[in-house]
């Protein structure tokens, strides 16, 4: 486990406007599918509608009352240097996935409940507030209006959709292949909450997992494996008001939608 960054060691646990909930942004990856946009900068520093993705995230988290925020850096990490944040390092970002970035934030996650955000999404503060207000050890936001966004992003929405089923508020399937869009009850957006007990269960699971596999896991695969082991994962529905930036075409689409006069279900702005 990499040593914790000195900025994190100096930050004492405290309460903010969202109670004891902190936030963690996973921003270690490069985002190679964005081609030239990430040639000289991390994915989280790509600009969308006048702000970097990270600036949008920080603004939404703070608007929801979350003031203690840490960022896991990796590719071109020295460029991520916004004031008022704590920083952690995934020095092995090029050979690991997001679950390893979570492991790099072990000390941060052990202290209090934490909103965890991917570094390539933007979202309205109300989504954060919904997660903050929802009790549970592992709570995952999922979009019930996902198909509207997928129809805009992809010529064939089935190309990039993953299975998602929920029963009585608990996720029972996530991240698998699908035979029909009608069977998909939502889409995970890369925003979730971990209570310390939830993180303890994840750590226990990872400790029993071959290290090479653990280092390669993304969060969706982790959630699927946890569910398979009988660990409860709560799902909380949201209705649009978020986007992910995965391709250059996403950037062009979102800017075009913002500039249009139509009301857009996935407009994330304040």
Class assignment of domain 17-258?
alpha beta
Q: What is the pLDDT of residue 13?
A: 36
Instruction: Please count the other Cβ atoms lying within 10 Å of the Cβ belonging to residue 135.
Output: 9
Tokens of 242: 């978020």
pLDDT score recorded for residue 180: 86
Angstrom distance (rounded) from CA 101 to CA 167: 30
Average pLDDT estimate for 123-132: 98
Residue entry with tokens 């869009």: 181
Tens digits of residue pLDDT in 225-259: 999 999 999 999 999 999 999 999 999 999 999 99
Query: pLDDT tens digits, residue range 183-221?
Result: 899 999 999 999 999 999 999 999 999 999 999 999 999
Distances (CA, A) of 153 to 188, 252, 259: 16, 10, 16
- What residues form DSSP beta bridges with 187? 143
Q: pLDDT at position 17, please?
A: 56
Lowest mean pLDDT among 22-26, 61-65, 156-160, 190-194: 156-160
Burial of 50 (0-12, 13-18, 19+ CB in 10 A): exposed
pLDDT given for residue 197 in this prediction:
98
Task: Indicate whether 119 pLDDT > 70.
Answer: yes
Round to whole Å and give the CA distance between 207 and 201. 10
Task: Name the pTM for this structure.
Answer: 0.91
Per-residue pLDDT, averaged over 144-172, amounts to: 94
pLDDT digits (tens, 9 = 90+) for 11-53: 333 345 566 899 999 999 988 888 888 999 999 999 999 999 9
State the Cα–Cα distance between residues 120 and 190, nearest whole angstrom.
9
Packed helices 196-207 and 219-228: angle between N→C axes, nearest 10 degrees: 80
| Confidence check: pLDDT of 10 > 60 | no
């Amino acid at each position: 486990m990499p040593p914790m960054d000195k900025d994190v060691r100096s930050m004492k646990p405290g309460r903010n406007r969202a109670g004891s909930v902190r936030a963690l942004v996973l921003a270690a990856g490069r985002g190679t599918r964005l081609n030239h946009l990430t040639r000289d900068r991390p994915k989280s520093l790509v600009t969308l509608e006048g702000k970097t993705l990270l600036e949008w995230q920080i603004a939404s988290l703070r608007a929801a009352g979350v003031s203690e925020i840490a960022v896991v850096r990796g590719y071109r990490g020295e460029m991520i240097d916004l004031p008022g944040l704590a920083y952690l390092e995934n020095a092995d970002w090029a050979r690991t996935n997001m679950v390893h970035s979570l492991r790099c934030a072990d000390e941060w996650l052990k202290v209090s409940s934490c909103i965890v955000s991917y570094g390539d999404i933007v979202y309205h503060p109300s989504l954060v507030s919904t997660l903050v207000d929802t009790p549970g050890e592992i709570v995952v936001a999922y979009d019930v209006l996902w198909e509207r966004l997928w129809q805009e992003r992809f010529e064939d929405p089935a190309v990039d959709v993953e299975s998602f089923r929920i029963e009585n508020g608990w996720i029972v399937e996530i991240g698998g292949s699908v035979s029909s869009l009608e069977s998909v009850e939502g889409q995970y957006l890369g925003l979730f909450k971990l209570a310390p007990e939830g993180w303890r269960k994840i750590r226990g699971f990872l400790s029993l997992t071959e290290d090479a596999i653990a280092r390669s896991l993304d969060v969706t695969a982790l959630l699927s494996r946890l569910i398979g082991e009988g660990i409860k994962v709560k799902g909380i529905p949201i209705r649009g008001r978020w986007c992910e930036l995965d391709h250059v075409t996403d950037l062009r689409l979102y800017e075009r939608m913002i500039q249009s006069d139509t009301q857009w279900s996935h407009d994330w702005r304040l």
